[in-house]
């Protein structure tokens, strides 16, 4: 069964550094999402992406965040200047467009630790 994959599984970075989190969605999916989960808390929506542009973003997704689909397979989340509070698990998800298809498939996550 196809799966969403994410790399790296764990990223440690210093405050103020840029990080890029990578995701490979399922190949026939057209909608892509990033969510984050601070340790012990709920999963929070960051951004949705379709047709090479952002569909919707949350208040968390400020100017420090950006997303890109550089080559038709990867979907990346960039944090320009990381803060301590960016430490979280970041999940990528994708879904297929079509009548009756609602499920978003989640990747295994990237644990980001900002020191």
Partner 1 sequence: GENVEQHPSTLSVQEGDSAVIKCTYSDSASNYFPWYKQELGKRPQLIIDIRSNVGEKKDQRIAVTLNKTAKHFSLHITETQPEDSAVYFCAASAGRDDKIIFGKGTRLHILP
Among 26, 90, 107, 112, binds partner 1 (CB under 8 A): 107
Among 26, 86, 109, 112, binds partner 1 (CB under 8 A): 109
Interface with partner 1, residue 38, by CB under 8 A: no
Residue 81: DSSP 8-state? S
Among 19-27, 62-70, 71-79, 89-97, which window interacts with partner 1 (CB under 8 A)? 89-97
Burial of 31 (0-12, 13-18, 19+ CB in 10 A): middle
Identify whether the C-beta of residue 19 lies closer than 8 Å to the C-beta of residue 79. yes
| Distance separating alpha carbons of residues 25 and 2, to the nearest angstrom | 9
Among 48, 82, 87, 94, binds partner 1 (CB under 8 A): 48
| Distance separating alpha carbons of residues 92 and 76, to the nearest angstrom | 9
| Distance separating alpha carbons of residues 92 and 37, to the nearest angstrom | 11
Interface with partner 1, residue 106, by CB under 8 A: yes
Interface with partner 1, residue 55, by CB under 8 A: yes
**Residues that bind partner 1 in the complex, under the rule CB under 8 A:** 31, 33, 35, 41-45, 48, 50, 55-56, 58, 91, 95, 97-98, 100-104, 106-109
């Amino acid at each position: 069964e196809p799966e969403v994959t994410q790399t790296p599984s764990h990223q440690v970075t210093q405050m103020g550094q840029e990080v890029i989190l990578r995701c490979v969605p399922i190949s026939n999916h057209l909608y892509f999402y990033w969510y984050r989960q601070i340790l012990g808390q709920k999963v929070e929506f960051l951004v949705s992406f379709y047709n090479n542009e952002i569909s919707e973003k949350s208040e968390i997704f400020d100017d420090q965040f950006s997303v890109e689909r550089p080559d038709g397979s990867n979907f990346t989340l960039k944090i320009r200047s990381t803060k301590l509070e960016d430490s979280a698990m970041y999940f990528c998800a994708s879904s297929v467009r079509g009548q009756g298809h609602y499920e978003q498939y989640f990747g295994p996550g990237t644990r980001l630790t900002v020191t």
